[in-house]
A and B are shown apart, each in its own frame.
Chain A
Amino acid sequence: MNQTDVIEPIHETMEEMYVNMGPQHPSTHGVLRLMLKLDGEVVTGVTPYIGYLHRCHEKIGENRIYTQVIPYTDRLDYLASMYNNFGYVLTVERLMGLQVPERAEYMRVILAELQRIASHLIWMGTFGLDLGNFTIFMYCFREREKILDLFESVSGQRLNYSFYRIGGMPLDFPESFLTECKAFLEWFKPRLPEYDAVMTDNIIFQKRVQGLGKLDQKTAIDYAISGPMLRGSGIKWDLRRNDPYSIYDRFEFEIPVGSTGDVWDRYMVRRQEMDESVKIVEQALRDLPPGEIMGKVPKKLRPPAGDMYSRVESPRGELGFYIVSDGSEKAYRYKVRSPAFVNLSVLPVIGPGHLVADMVAILGSIDIVLGEVDR
């Protein structure tokens, strides 16, 4: 069968069975619909159907002035709102050539890396659920809750922060933040080995995910896969290192990579990225300079005519924003390159040939957020 064939239950035979998985299903992580073609329990074809959460994000972005778009970007990848804000304001700043104060850059990195930990925690918990391990979910949410508490103390919000501004940050950290954040990191670091005990070192878990959904390097590049999925296939590509934005070139951190590109490698990459994010936050907290948090920004934002594409390494991969300006207060064209959407596109290639149970694990390892897939 051609990989690009769309699975539709038209010619159902006695040997084949079509199963509609979603949009209401415990393991599709939102409103994704998968059409599975089954031979017994073996999946012979899979097509993802998307669009149940489409909100015309890009069109809205062309009808609002630049600052008004920031709250909409929160709703893209709602598990990593800080990162969406980051990517968007970075693009507008580059378009206008704005300078961001030093302290604001450090604040951005601290919040973004905490957000990465929070996002990976959710991923780890729900991945556990997919494999039938219910307890890790609660552990991960306990830790994430503490990160959300930190975010709440900074921005007043727990999910959709809208906290980055074009040209800087709106508010400084509250006085207690630095001590609380350090206390959290001290508390969080010993928790990671606990997850290893429940997940990583568990023989059942290892047997379940090893050798599953292999994504080779060529396919990964052909499909423009990015983020932990690409690194799981053994390609050392992290925009924080390969195309540094903000002040990421100042920090010391490793880029974990896998070798075979199976679900286990993707798991290990995300698991180790949490360690690295902790390191980055620690360094940023240590070096956090005093000073201004908002740069010189005109009252009315009118970027010069032209276009700009800039990208950040969100927890899911390359999150890119493309803005075409015609010199007015609103973008002429606004496009989001969402990593989850692109990563999902490889599912019909790596999915077939596995059992239904493995489909769930493979889908979980892609780490999709439907808010971002559908925009």
Chain B
Amino acid sequence: MSTLLEGFYSAFAALGVPWIVPRLIVMLVVASLVIVFISVSVMFMIWWERKISAHIQVRYGPMRVGGWHGWAQSIADGIKLLIKEDVIPAGADRLVFALAPMVVFAAALAAYVIIPFGPNLIVRDLNIGVLFYISISSLTVVGIVMAGWSSNNKYSVLGALRSAAQAVSYEVPLVVSILGVIMTAGSLSMIQIVEAQQRIWFVIPQFAGFLIYLTAALAECNRLPFDIPEAESELVAGFHVEYSGMRFAIFFLAEYANMFTVAAIATTLFLGGWRGPLLPPWLWFLIKTYFIIFVMMWLRWTLARLRVDQLMNLGWKVLLPLAFLNMGITGLVLVLRG
């Protein structure tokens, strides 16, 4: 891969083109590939979630658009959202209102940089990969608060404040639960963490960490039972209540993109990443990731919603101590084994 890139760069250098041009071309191609991948995968996930929820609820779900089991439903919905009128409420702060979905989406997009789909299928193997993900994922809440505040709507302000509280409470156990893996692997790089799981997937020695991560990740994605920032029956739609058309679609896209990221990180850190027999690595990676996404959808359509204070209690009083305990035990075991 890298030799191919070097060849590409030197070919341009031989032509006398400034060094920045080939690098820009590569960046553009990679960015477009990532965006295309996100869009396609999100459309698939939306359709999939509708089918799963339908079958859990003894229904069929979309059956008409596109013929086979309504596979084109998400495409039709996307087109519909694209051609809708762009409404900005009269009392809104126009600039912040317009920026908010972009911030949310940019944060979701940036996280894809460090997802290792295969041994060589990674945009950039940062040596601080996990740290990068953690910092980027907390950026989402800034966009959400911007959206809630600028809408000038009481329901969306409540949703945004809930979201901020939730993000602060759940970032901490999320990070601490990952620490066990990092200590065992001895690296922050995603590739090296996967390499470290050659003998055994980290889900076995780090099972508690895996569960804590999954719970905190659900809250991170604002999904049931932690969908308090957008609780439909209480806050109508929470922070994006005033958004419609394409701006709403971007929020939606970012939400599902986040879901994929969270599941992909779980796969990398706990389920051995792309490792698996027979099938190509990228396929193994997708299978594991979509399995985790399936579990998240399954939970959503089975459980009821927690209350704000219960959510805080769970985060600070249960998950965080457990995560620290897990970290301590991991450290002890590592020291004892030398």
Contact = CB atoms under 8 A, between A and B. Distances in A.
A138 B309 CA distance: 29
Interface in B4-60: 53, 56-59
A134 B57 contact: yes
Contacts of B304: 128, 131-133, 199, 202, 204-205, 208
A255 interface: no
B53, B225, B227, B233 interface centre (most CB from chain A within 10 Å):
B233
A162 interface: no
Given A41-B158, A202-B303, A207-B310, A134 B53 contact: yes
Nearest to B313: A207
Nearest to A132: B305
A25 B234 CA distance: 8
A135 B301 contact: yes
A133 B57 CA distance: 11
Which of under 10, 10 to 19, 20 to 34, or 35 or more describes the interface residues of A?
A: 20 to 34
A26 B232 CA distance: 7
Contacts of A138: 57-59
A41 B308 contact: yes
A192 interface: no
A5 to B, nearest CB: 21
Given A132-B227, A135-B301, A19 B154 contact: yes
Contact of B236 (A26, A202, A359): A26
Given A134-B53, A135-B57, A129 B158 contact: no
Given A27-B233, A130-B233, A142-B58, A204 B158 contact: no
Interface string B297-331: 00001111111111000000000000000000000
A139 interface: yes
Given A26-B233, A139-B57, A357 B308 contact: yes
Contacts of B305: 131-133, 204, 208, 357
A133 B303 contact: yes
Given A139-B58, A356-B158, A134 B301 contact: yes
Contacts of A133: 302-305
B293 interface: no
B228 to A, nearest CB: 8
Interface in B209-246: 224-225, 227-228, 231-236
Interface in B55-73: 56-59
B155 interface: yes
A355 interface: yes
Q: Choose among B59, B227, B228, B307 the residue with the greatest number of A CB atoms under 10 Å from its CB.
A: B307
B120 to A, nearest CB: 42
Contact of A204 (B56, B162, B301, B303): B303
Nearest to B226: A132
A198 B235 CA distance: 24
Nearest to B225: A204
Contacts of B58: 138-139, 142
A355 B233 contact: no
A355 B309 contact: yes
Given A41-B158, A139-B58, A357 B301 contact: no
B229 to A, nearest CB: 12
A360 B234 contact: yes
Contact of A17 (B59, B154, B233, B309): B154
Contacts of B57: 134-135, 137-139
Contacts of A205: 304
Interface string A200-238: 001011011000000000000000000000000000000
Contacts of B233: 26-27, 129-132, 360
Ranked nearest first, the 9 interchain pairs of A and B with the lowest CB-CB distance are A132-B305, A138-B57, A133-B304, A27-B233, A131-B304, A205-B304, A130-B233, A204-B304, A357-B234
10 contacts: A17-B154, A128-B304, A132-B227, A132-B304, A133-B302, A135-B301, A198-B302, A202-B304, A204-B306, A208-B306
Given A202-B303, A207-B307, A357-B308, 5 more contacts: A132-B231, A133-B302, A135-B53, A207-B306, A356-B235
